[in-house]
Amino acid sequence: MVLLVSLVWISNRIAIVVTAIVLATALNQLVLQLQKLHIKRSLAVFLSLFILLAFLVGFFWLIVPPFTAQFQELLALVPSGISRIQAWVNYWEQRLIGWFPNLPDINGLIQQIPPLITQALGSSIALFTLSINAILEFLLVLVLTLMLLVNPLPYRNSFIRLFPSFYRHRVDEILTRCASGLASWTGGALIEMVFIAGLSGIGLWILQVPLALAHAVLAGLLNFIPNIGPTLSVVFPMVIALLDEPWKAVAVLILYIIIQNIESYWLTPTIMAKQVALLPAVTLTSQILFTTFFGALGLLMAIPLAVVAKTWIEEVLFQDVLDKWNNASSR
């Protein structure tokens, strides 16, 4: 048991360090772009961190207060909402029984809804509690990122020295490709996030769903986590819409399905084909793998880490080993 707890603690700390490295690498690309404008590196680092912090502060200012108020309202209105649904179902069940005598007991199915909702709300509260710990971990990630970002060259050289001297130049090239791949993927992901947030905001505004802007921003940010993020993003707007008009919840679900299909079948092939494309099975496998070892941070950083792993596998295993092995055997 002690060994298991130790492994969990170690994997969590490794996840924090890896996250800081990936974040510093991505921000360093922004720093380099600012330096091209003849801005000193120290000022460029400050501006990059300021942009990141401003984005985070704006997110929490926009999302957290209204969602907290709406969540408390939701907890108060859930029982009355269930009663309204049961009354509506009873009304239509009595009418349909005359038309279809063998109709299943719909009301019995509805009776199972309250425990499921209670369990879901309990999970949401537990997730909110865990998010406090995640905020503390992010502060640690931010400090490490700053330390790596101020002067990344010594850390890079120290990593390169871990390899044999004849291969160090090649490692330096691979690290450059990794940084370029991360920058390209980040650019594509940002475009997709803005697209999802824009369409979600317009659709929710047309449907007159409360907190449309907050829901749209949340949808864009959660799109950063493929597969899982889009599913989570539809929960809150559907619940809030249900408190207003039941039909709006169905409309919100249809809206998000349409947006995700547009994103999956048009935007992603168009944008990511020019950036860094990952196969869907690779994306899901990386999420499962990194989440298993590194927890919540692993889920958040699964795709950037998969981009880095893809670069190393292509450059080292395929190009430097297997391709040369094939050439050597053909001589």
Q: Is the pLDDT of residue 299 over 70?
A: yes
**pLDDT at site 125:** 47
Q: Which residues contact 252 (CB under 8 A, 6 or more apart)?
A: 204, 207, 209, 234, 237, 238, 241
Q: What is the pLDDT of residues 140-190, one digit of tens each?
A: 888 888 888 888 889 999 999 999 999 999 999 999 988 888 888 888 888
Q: How far apart are CA 208 and CA 65, in angstroms?
A: 20
Q: Which pLDDT belongs to residue 188?
A: 81
How remote is the C-alpha of 21 from its chain's centroid? 18
pLDDT digits (tens, 9 = 90+) for 279-295: 777 777 888 888 887 77
How confident is residue 238, by pLDDT bands cut at 50, 70 and 90?
confident
Among the listed ranges 43-57, 200-214, 289-303, which one has the minimum average pLDDT value?
A: 289-303
* More confident of the two residues 143 and 67: 143
Cα gap 180→26, rounded to integer Å? 9
The per-residue pLDDT for 202 is: 93
Distance separating alpha carbons of residues 175 and 316, to the nearest angstrom? 11
Whether the predicted pLDDT of 26 surpasses 50 = yes
Number of domains in the chain: 1
Which of the four pLDDT bands, split at 50, 70 and 90, describes residue 17?
Answer: confident
Higher pLDDT, 44 or 84: 44
Q: Which residues of 7-42 are buried (b: 16+ CB within 10 A; e: fewer)?
A: eeeebbeebbebbbbbbbbbbbbbbeebeeeeeeee
> Whole domain around residue 204: which residue ranges?
2-329
Share of the chain above pLDDT 70, in %: 71
Chain centroid offset of residue 143 CA: 22
Query: Residues 37-66: what's their mean pLDDT?
Result: 81
Higher-pLDDT residue of 274, 302: 302
Average pLDDT in the chain: 76
Reported residue count of the chain is 331
pTM, two decimal places: 0.69
The alpha carbon of residue 179 and the mean position of all alpha carbons in its chain are separated, in whole angstroms, by: 20
Pair 221, 59: CB distance under 8 Å: yes
Mean pLDDT of 132-138: 69
pLDDT band at 8 (very low <50, low <70, confident <90, very high): low
Give 136 or 203, the one with higher predicted confidence.
203
For residue 161, what pLDDT is reported? 92
> CA 280, 285, 287, 292: dihedral to nearest 10 degrees?
170
By the 10 Å C-beta count (0-12 exposed, 13-18 middle, 19+ buried), 172 is classed as: middle
Q: Which residue has the higher pLDDT, 178 or 111?
A: 178
pLDDT value of position 170: 92
Structure confidence at residue 209 (pLDDT): 84
